[in-house]
Amino acid sequence: MSVQNIKSMSHVSPFYVFFLVHSMQIGVGIFGFQRYIAMDAGYNAWITVILTGLLIHILIWMLYRILLDGGKPRDIIDVHRQYFGKYIGNLLSWAFLVYFLFMGITVLRTYIEVIQIWMFPTLITWPVALFFILIVTYGIFNGFRVVTGIAFLGVVLPFGLILTLISPLEFANYDRILPVEFILGEQTAAVKTMTLSFIGFESLAFYLPFINGAQKSQKWAHAGHGLTTLMYLAVTLVTFFYYSRLHLERVIYPSLSLWKVLELPVIERFEYVGLSMWLLVVMPNIIISVWVVSRGMKKLLRTKQRHTLFFTAGTLFLFTIAFETREAIDNLNNHVSTVGFYIIFCYVPALFILTAIIRRFRSDGKKNSGPSV
């Protein structure tokens, strides 16, 4: 069960996959995804959330079939090497690392942008980015367990924010989602958009060997993704009840604007509290991305993770401060999302089919080899 080349000190129990998957999916996308899916599928888009959620369950299952070879967990780098050989395989792995690096950049830069828009217009990007990256580096420096710990806290501590969804219901008009229709064309477009909010779980492909009893973790991965789906569904429904459709199309961050209606006796504007708490939600996103990149580079370059970590952190910092305008940040989000979409909806199924073929071929060769797909 255990993997020899990784010290068991850095292993975590399967249960934590729940937090790793869930925390990586929820990030800055939740601030505004409802607007985009509503543009694709109108107020029937809440069906899309459920639909996409179900589709991704299948992809998680596929990912586990690819990564678990006869019960032994391996990471995507091993898979690439085995299927495509050293050179092409490593090249594909590098592509993955670049993708994860940009995912980290996107989350960090978008979060800083939101703070600049909503709280402190005069805030300079680089000190905040530096502060973030130092915490992230400090965390990863102490191993995968700390990364998992941050993911755990990033789910548990801000969980209370879900209660803030109750306040907008004072102005809810439940009839807004009527008439309910299912139009396939609309839904397909919206599924593509919605997928972007679920990406991040594919980091599983890198940390699975660090899970004690990786096989047992699959149910937790599904549960973590299930919670994400439920949360997105709740946020979508509350948004739809609260905004009229044409209004929603004009609001850039509908979830944040929801907080504008929340009034507490001591705090006039809840955004300040909410956005600060969101730091805890964003942190796992960045820390897992950076961990993936540094870990992947370590394996590909056969060097110490400490070195690759500093390199990754430096690159992350430089790229983050390079994006200045709303447009540039929006483009960055779009590009990373598009790449993410193709990775999980095209590459993962392709790899799955390839795995199935290879295993069938192998079990035909030697009759007694491990279980097929």
Partner 1 sequence: MVKKIRVLLFSFLSGCLLLTGCVEPHILDEVQIVHATGYDFVDEGHIRGTISIPVYPPDEAIHSETLTAVSSATREIRLLLDAQSNKPLHTGKVTVVLFDRKLAENGLMRIIDTFVRDPRIGMRIQLAIVEGSSTKNLLETTYPMEVDTAMYISELIEQNIERQNIPQSNFHVYLSNFYGQGRDPFLPILRQEGNAVRVTGLALLKEDRYVATLPLKDCFLLKILLERFGEGSYQVNLNQDEHAMLRNLESDTDWEVENASSNPEFKVNVSLSGRISEYSGDTLGDPKIEEIRAAAITQLEEDLNNLIKHFQELNVDPAGFGDQVRQRDPDFSDEEWDKIFPDVPVEFKVNLTIKETGIEE
Binding site for partner 1 (CB under 8 A): 117-118, 120, 122-124, 127, 130-131, 134-135, 137-138, 141, 171, 173, 175, 178-179, 181, 242-247, 250, 257, 260-261, 263, 268-269, 271, 306
Cβ distance to partner 1 smaller for residue 100 or 259 = 259
Number of helices (H), then strands (E), in the chain: 15, 2
Least separation, in Å, of the C-beta of 81 and partner 1? 30
Cβ distance to partner 1 smaller for residue 124 or 322 = 124
Residue 265, helix vs strand vs coil: coil
Least separation, in Å, of the C-beta of 144 and partner 1? 16
Least separation, in Å, of the C-beta of 113 and partner 1? 13
Ramachandran angles phi, psi of 51, nearest 5°: -60, -50
Least separation, in Å, of the C-beta of 269 and partner 1? 6
Cβ distance to partner 1 smaller for residue 4 or 180 = 180
Q: What angle do CA 36, 278, 44 make, to 5 degrees?
A: 25
Cβ distance to partner 1 smaller for residue 290 or 351 = 290
Least separation, in Å, of the C-beta of 258 and partner 1? 9
From the number of C-beta atoms within 10 Å of its C-beta (0-12, 13-18, 19+), residue 189 rates as middle
Q: What are the Cα distances from residue 25, in Å, to 43, 47, 169, 200, 252?
A: 23, 19, 25, 5, 20
Ramachandran angles phi, psi of 278, nearest 5°: -65, -20
From the number of C-beta atoms within 10 Å of its C-beta (0-12, 13-18, 19+), residue 85 rates as exposed
Cβ distance to partner 1 smaller for residue 63 or 256 = 256
Cβ distance to partner 1 smaller for residue 65 or 145 = 145
Which of 3-6's residues contact partners 24+ apart within 8 Å by CB, and which partners? 3/72, 3/73, 3/209, 6/209, 6/210
Cβ distance to partner 1 smaller for residue 159 or 171 = 171
Least separation, in Å, of the C-beta of 342 and partner 1? 32
Least separation, in Å, of the C-beta of 27 and partner 1? 21
Alpha carbons 37 and 35: distance in angstroms, whole number: 6
